[in-house]
Amino acid sequence: MPAISPNKPYRIGRSRTGLGLFATRPIRKGTRIIRYFGPLLDSKKKKDDDIENKYLFELSNRWTVDGSVRANIARYINHACRPNAESDVKPRKRKVYIRAIKNIEPGEEINYDYGTDYFKAYLKPIGCKCEACEKKRKKKRAEARAERVRELEKAERKAKRLAEKLARVNEKLEKLNGGSKKRANGKLANAKSAIGKSANGKSTNGKAANGKAANGKFANGKQAAAHLANGKAVDGFDLAAA
């Protein structure tokens, strides 16, 4: 790790993305913090144009700073979507400085926006880990949890209403079944009563019971014998005439 003069207002330290650059004393807004430097690459030269790494800083269509050298302490500054510093590019001088755009307190990490092209190429595929993006993800996770709770509560209320409705339907069915049973029991009682009356010697469906006449015919032969003894006709025949 490169040595840093104690006169400098920053130090290299551990960050959520690896290593980062942190303020060691207050840095006022507008202060030029550090220079981003390295070999200059000429895009018109094939050997320079073929170089590819994450520390290339484009100054113009032709010139690019290769900041991958370890002496370039500014390379430890991480990206942030809501930074407290920015890159101050001097194309004619072919120099880049990192300048504070907010007051930075001791212990606070120094960061700047790497730009849209870098973000799309390197950060978007893996997910930006800056503080602002972490807060967004945390907020989305909290909102998703709250939405799941709301959906669960909604489902529980719906299930409760359905259970109550089902209970009311079952109650109505029980009442209807109870009325049907009463009517059926009443009919059965009436049938039993009719059977009882027939058994006690009363006529049922025109049939004779206990020796009583049914449909004009004699029963048990007793009345027929009595009539014969008296010389009376039976079934249309005159016995005296015979």
Q: Beta strands 40-42 and 63-66: pairing type?
A: antiparallel
Residue 150 to residue 157: CA distance in whole angstroms: 11
77 DSSP 8-state letter? P
Residue 179 to residue 86: CA distance in whole angstroms: 86
Q: Select 10-127's CATH number: 2.170.270.10, 2.30.110.10, 1.10.10.10, 3.20.20.70.
A: 2.170.270.10
User: What are the boundaries of each domain within the chain?
Assistant: 10-127, 130-183
Residue-by-residue DSSP string for 123-159: ITTT---SHHHHHHHHHHHHHHHHHHHHHHHHHHHHH
Angle at 95 between CA 92 and CA 97, to 5 degrees: 130
pTM, entire model: 0.61
What does the pLDDT profile of the chain (242 residues) look like in tens digits?
Answer: 788 988 999 999 999 888 999 999 999 999 999 999 999 999 999 999 999 999 999 999 999 999 999 999 999 999 999 999 999 999 989 999 999 999 999 999 999 999 998 888 888 898 898 888 888 888 888 888 998 999 999 999 999 999 999 998 998 888 888 766 666 666 666 666 666 655 555 544 444 444 444 444 444 545 544 444 454 444 444 444 44
Residue 134 to residue 129: CA distance in whole angstroms: 6
Secondary-structure percent of the chain, ordered helix, strand, coil, rounded to 5: 40, 20, 40
